[in-house]
Amino acid sequence: MKREKKKSLSSWSRMDKFTLGAMLAPFLTAFVVFMVVPVVASIVLSFFRFDMLNTPEFIGLDNYFRMIMEDKVFGISLANTLYFAVITGPVGFMLSFILAWFINELGPKARSVLSFLFYSPALMGNVYFIWQVMFSGDSYGYVNSLLISLNVISEPIQWFSNPNYSMTLVILIQLWMSMGVSFLANISGLQNVDTTIYEAAAIDGVKNRWQELWYLTLPSMKNILLFSAVMQIQASFSVSGIATTLTGNPSVNYSTHTIVTHLTDVSGARYEMGYAAAISVFLFLMMALARIGIGKLLDSTGK
Amino acid sequence: MFRKLIAGSLAVLMLLSCGATAFATTTASDEHMADVALDNPTKADVCSYREYQSAYADVSHAETSIEITGEGNGADLYLPGDSLTLEFTVDEAGWYEPHITYRALAGTGGDILFSLLLDGELPYAQLSNLRLNRLWKNSTEEFQSDEDGNQFSPEQEEVFDWQTVKLYDSEGFIIEPLRLYLSEGAHTLTILLNSECVTIGSVTLAQPEVLLTYEEYAQQHQGTVYQGETLVYEGERADLKSQKMYIPMSARNDADVRPADPFKKLNNYIGGSNWNGDGGAITWNIHVPADGWYQLGFHFRQTYLQESNSYRTLLIDGEIPFAEVQGVPFPYKSGWQYMHLDQHVYLTEGNHTLTLRVTLGPLADFAAQLQSITGRLGVIYRQIVKITGETPDANRDYALFTALPDLKEELTDISTKLETLALLSEQISGAQGGTNAATLRKAKVIIDQMLGKTYEAHTKLKSFYDNYSSLSSWLYEMQNMALDIDSIFLMAPEKDFSEVEIGLWQKTVFTFQRLWASFFIDEGMEVEDENTIVIWSNWGRDQLTVLENLIANDFTPKTGIKVEIKITAAGAVQGKLSGNGPDLEINVGRNSPVNYAMRGILVDLSQFEDFEEVTGRFSKTALVPYQYGDGVYGLPNTETYPMLFVRTDIFEELGIQPPKTWDEFIDCAKIINLNNMNCGMPQIYSTFMAQMDVPLYKEDLSATNLMSGGAVNAFTYWTDFYTKYGFPKTYDFFNRFRTGLMPMGIADFSVYATIRAAAPEINGKWMMYELPGFPQEDGSINNAVTGNGTACVILNWSKKQDQAWEFLKWWTSDDIQYRFGVNLESVLGMSGRYETANLNALYRLGWEAENLAALKSQGQKLVQMPEVPGGYYVGRSVQQVYWNVVNNGEKVEDMLKKWVPEADDEIRRKTEEYAQN
């Protein structure tokens, strides 16, 4: 068959358009049903009071007022989420990139072994339960018993029930969990960088690895970076399951209460779906903003 | 040294007392049979059977038997403490073997436990805990099946037949029947009941039987060899079982387990992990076509004990034919296997019975020795902990060997014994350096290290403890003699299994059929019609399978109503949203009924005419949590409450009594803490509130009562345990209780079954008591308790509400709740105990008498708290207060004021929101 040049949509024949439509239909249907409809539905729902059992009742912006003006716990959860995102987002992102950069220098065998090791926490899903065992509040918990035998402490520390420790621990565990995906993306991004440009750049006067990294590597894997950054933001904004499992719901003094925890709580335990929808719309906007910010930031690489 | 001396002198004393007992003459009483109130002597004062044996080692076996018959049809023993004393005269001194003829009386279905006293005293320890089993059979001849042909496991029905049995050590450490030395003259023999009820017919003091060797057996039976067809007896068709939990089971993925069907669930084997000890016996009736020598074959599965065998004693017509089958080994292999018995048996034409009875076989003696060693290690560990605490300071010299002068000798002796046991273990398993021997040697290494560097011995405490607990758990595991039996074959000698074995091709086809079936046969789907009610539940599959069986056997035949059960994590709310909700939900959480009721999706059960009849089945306040407004929206399914668990052996060591008041509780806790152990206190603030007569909610249920002065007092009293008395905030009660590190603790009564099932090594060393309380002015003690539980609800969109109510009435009835509990335990074992809210059923589920009394009495004082809209916030606020108080040293009152308004707000909001409904 002859290779054809790309044509603009308007120049396509009817038949071609039909074919195009038919090919896209399965995906489009799924996309609309499972993505567009729920998003639109939750925006609509956020103006209603709805307990899943009785007919929804329109209440205008009440849910939003309540969220911003009345709900103290929402304020705490927003602060926690931002704190969480600011730390795990950038740190996780940079850590995963630096690790990928180092490991990429190794031979193929060591690289695949290490990649697997770093990716495995993400692969294994609920593996973070081991942290619960390690940081158990029992005096026989691994960390407590170690610290007691080293005479660092005399009483077991309630790691996940003490606000002084719980947030830090959850952040560390979240970092450990979420690094895998963006790390893997970064590795593949690094391997796809065209090696010839390094030679060309060396001739053009690039002197060291840092310049290589900033002027060549980073710009040429901008898309991958964007992907891993988005993954990282999404992960750090929507953290909840790990925190809830480890520190309970609600955590002591709401120390690890995040927006998603709050959302699950409002919808799951209190059946206030309208209010939960309002919170999710808020979260959605926050994520979108962050995504735009990151795009801007990445654009500046190599400049 | 000191310990050794004590032990030695004790042993001598015991021997003397044994001798004295046996030779003592009794004063004859006027009545032939007398019910005497006797205290059951504790084991600790009495010698063991082995010591007793060696004391009379030179005495010969009796040449005659003495039969002692009671009056009439025998004596009925109903209650623990009931006894029967029989008088008799011995003409010829010697060893006798007591045989007892008895018939079980209807009780709770557990084994009958009793002590046997000679002349009013216990000759040796093993006689204090003897076991008589009941007999069970399938309640129906043929297996019942559902519409698709899937068979149900039949319910078990007790058979009240007379049995004559020899007496065996109930721990299984002595495999031969227990014997008694009887001197010449008049004696009395007393049977003292410890649990369950029984009729004792007669007792025979028989001449001890010496088992034939196979050679002797072969010479006695000179006969022809069977040449006919292979006779197959299906395991699942067993005729009598000694425990109700030996039920026919279904292995679905194996083509060679007869009968096998890729598409249907058929009962095809018996045994399982429940057939693992307690002398559990299964009997098959067999019919033999001709006199002759037969070869015995088994198709079985033993995937339970690696590196070891599961042992069974083979009995034909209730007798062991020859010594070699006293412990038939069933070796380990993954999957099913065929096995021939090395020896052949001689059978006459006609009907016989064939019995397989659990035995420890050659492991018995080994296990007995290991048990004595772990017991001693446990004592040593607790002695050391008393001095050093659980985590000794490595840099300190505790001078352990000076503080415990007998420690050195004791450890040296144990070290030697461990090596002997390791050698014995290798001998039994026939392999050098197996993991079992390695476990023993590892423990020995640690002990040797402690002996080698006496000044650093305490640094090894952690390893010492780890080894001690791994030996203990291994001791427990090695006695787990589980086995599955698919078929038993009687075949011509010389034949092999080729005619019954299934070929590779058939197996492959079967596997593919199973795979096919897994896609296309929707298990458990039934056609809905107007006479089918749908139940949703988030219960486990085992629970629901047992329930389905009960429904098919009882409910549907009686009422004509069919029931479809769906396992789902989804609640009624999702059901309503999907428009496909159930008629009923069972086992929903404590706060669901009120939560659903306020949203108007539940049926008020109190509107049914016969509602009042049903409520009498539960505790007085059981319905309180399910009331909303004037209605009652749920029936209790399960109900639990905390009890006080005490390690009586450690309390004895410390010289303290189980506490009845909180002051006593605190005194005990102080002594326990001083000895470097600790106590367990769960989050039971509402119990403290109940005991101080402070309600959890205001009278009109509009807000909590947690900020009142009374609540602050109750709360402070409770948190003081953590802040003042240093109780651990997080702990694993079962493990600490088991090892003795937490000899006193409050825990849910369901822990009773867990300990009984999973920690048999502390049997008899612990008790469950009522909670402590506060003394009142009139001298009584207020030890009220609050509980938890689950409920059943009917959804208001159901068009079959009357049928659903019919089901609830059936389901919560005494008989069904009891049968459900029993059947569940036959599947899951004792740890699957069902905490039914139906009190009559709960108390029948098999508890030790004294523990049951405590449980009942505490149940009388159960006060269930009401549930209110938004009430789920109360627990949260309490958590916040609790952690802030115990972790950050905040004041209880301040914290209550800070956090409780949050809960009150939620209650107010929800109450207002749903006020119109």
Contact by Cβ (8 Å): B1, B56 = no
Task: Determine the average pLDDT of the residues in A14-41.
Answer: 90
Kindly report, residue by residue over A139-188, the tens digit of the pLDDT.
Answer: 778 888 888 878 888 788 888 888 888 888 988 888 888 777 778 888 88
Identify how many contiguous H helices and E strands chain B contains and give both numbers.
Answer: 26, 36
- Give which of A145, A158, A136 is closest to B392, Cα–Cα: A145
- In chain B, the percentage of residues whose pLDDT exceeds 90 is 44
Q: Is B601 on the interface with A (CB under 8 A)?
A: yes
Selection from A190, A149, A25, A175 nearest residue A94 by Cα: A175
Rounded to whole angstroms, the Cα distance separating B749 from B839 reads 14
Residues 6+ apart with CB under 8 A from B566: B534, B535, B536, B537, B582
B682-726 pLDDT, tens digit each: 999 999 999 999 999 998 888 999 999 999 999 999 999 999 998
Instruction: Nearest chain A residue to B576 by CA: give it.
Output: A53
B1 compared with B485, residue with greater pLDDT: B485
Q: Residue B157 pLDDT > 50, yes or no?
A: yes
Rounded to two decimals, the ipTM of the complex is: 0.81
Task: Spell out the residues 6+ positions from residue B372 whose beta carbon is closer than 8 angstroms to its own.
Answer: none
Cα B200 to Cα A45, A279, B87, B130: the distances in Å are: 75, 73, 14, 14
Return the beta strands (E) in B105-184 as ranges. Answer: 112-118, 130-132, 135-138, 156-159, 163-166, 180-182
Strand partners, B566: B536
For residue B881, pLDDT beyond 90: yes
pLDDT at B433: 60
Q: Which residue bears the tokens 């319905």?
A: B623
Spatial CA neighbour of B115 closest among B123, B133, B127: B127
Q: What is the pLDDT of residue B213?
A: 93
What is the reported pLDDT for A78?
Answer: 92
Task: Judge: A53–B601 Cβ closer than 8 Å, yes or no.
Answer: yes
Residue of B573, B887, B906, B910 best to disrupt the A interface, most CBs of A under 10 A: B887
**Cα–Cα distance, B179 to B94 (Å, whole number):** 10
Angstrom CA distances, B733 to A100, A155, B646, B740, stand at 45, 18, 12, 10
- Within an 8 Å CB–CB cutoff, is residue B732 touching chain A? yes
Q: The pTM is what? A: 0.72
Say yes or no for a CB contact (<8 Å) between A149 and B879.
Answer: no
Amino acid code (one letter) for B309: N
pLDDT digits (tens, 9 = 90+) for A232-251: 878 888 888 888 888 887 88
Question: How far B883 CA lies from chain A's nearest CA (Å)?
Answer: 7
Sign of the four-CA dihedral B528, B529, B530, B533: negative
Q: Which phi and psi angles does B382 have, rounded to 5°?
A: -65, -35
Contact criterion met (CB below 8 Å) for B409 and B2:
no
Asked whether residue B524 carries a pLDDT value surpassing 60, the answer given is: no
**pLDDT digits 0-9 by tens, B629-641:** 889 999 999 999 9
Residue B786, helix vs strand vs coil:
coil
Average pLDDT, integer, range A84-109 = 85
pLDDT value at position A303? Answer: 61
Over range B446-460, report the average pLDDT.
Answer: 87
Higher model confidence: residue B425 or residue B19? B425
Q: Does B796 touch chain A (CB under 8 A)?
A: no
What tokens does A139 get?
């005096």
Cβ contacts of A54 on chain B, cutoff 8 Å: 599-600
Please tell me if residue B32 touches chain A, with a CB cutoff of 8 Å. Answer: no
B729 touches chain A (CB under 8 A): yes
Nearest neighbour of A54 by CB, restricted to B394, B599, B728: B599
Structure tokens at B577: 């949203």
Q: What are the residues whose beta carbons fall under 8 Å from the beta carbon of B102, sequence distance 6 or more? A: B74, B112, B132, B162, B163, B165, B198, B199, B200, B201
Per-residue pLDDT tens over the stretch B272-318: 878 888 889 999 999 999 999 999 999 999 988 877 889 999 999 99
Tokens for A34? 């499972």
**How many angstroms separate the CA atoms of A297 and A61, rounded?**
34
Chain A contacts to B (CB-CB under 8 A): 51-54, 136-141, 145, 148-149, 151, 155-156, 158, 161-162, 248-250, 252-253, 269-271
Residues of B in Cβ contact (< 8 Å) with A52: 573, 576-577
d(CA A298, CA A225): 8
pLDDT greater than 90 at residue B791: yes
CB atoms within 10 A of CB B63: 9
Q: Which range among A37-41, B267-271, B577-581 shows the weakest confidence by mean pLDDT?
A: B577-581
**Cα gap A74→A70, rounded to integer Å:** 9
Least confident of A294-303, B57-66, B252-261, B534-543: A294-303
What confidence score (pLDDT) does residue B11 get?
Answer: 45
A–B CB contacts, 8 A cutoff, strictly below:
64
Instruction: Work out the number of other CB atoms within 10 angstroms of the CB of residue B616.
Output: 9
Task: Give the CA count within 13 Å in the CB-facing half-sphere of B279.
Answer: 22
Tokens representing residue B551 in the block: 């429904």
CA distances from B53 to B120, B180, B323, B333 (A): 20, 9, 20, 38
Q: Is the confidence at residue B5, as pLDDT, over 70?
A: no
- The CB density around residue A174, as the number of other CB atoms within 10 Å, is 20
Which residues lie below 8 Å from residue B515, measured CB to CB, with a gap of 6+?
none
Per-residue confidence (pLDDT) for residue A123, from 0 to 100: 77
B292: which strand partners?
A: B347
Are the C-beta atoms of residues B88 and B187 closer than 8 Å to each other? yes
Please count the CA atoms within 13 angstroms of the CA of A109 that sit on its side-chain side: 0
The string of DSSP letters for B654-693 reads HT----SBHHHHHHHHHHHHHTT--EE--S-HHHHHHHTT
| Contacts with B883 from chain A: Cβ below 8 Å | 158, 161-162, 252-253
Taking an 8 Å cut-off on Cβ atoms, the answer to whether A271 and B887 are in contact is no
Residues of B in contact with A151 (CB under 8 A): 393
**Residue of A52, A139, A149 lying closest to B577 (CB–CB):** A52
Judging by beta carbons within 10 Å of its beta carbon (0-12, 13-18, 19+), is residue B734 exposed, middle or buried? middle
- Mean pLDDT, residues A272-277 taken together: 92
Rounded Cα distance between A244 and A271, Å, is 18
Angstroms from A268 CA to nearest CA on chain B:
10
Chain B residue closest in CA terms to A253: B880
B100 touches B205 (CB < 8 A): no
CA distance B275 to B484: 8
Sign of the dihedral through C-alpha B892, B893, B894, B898: positive
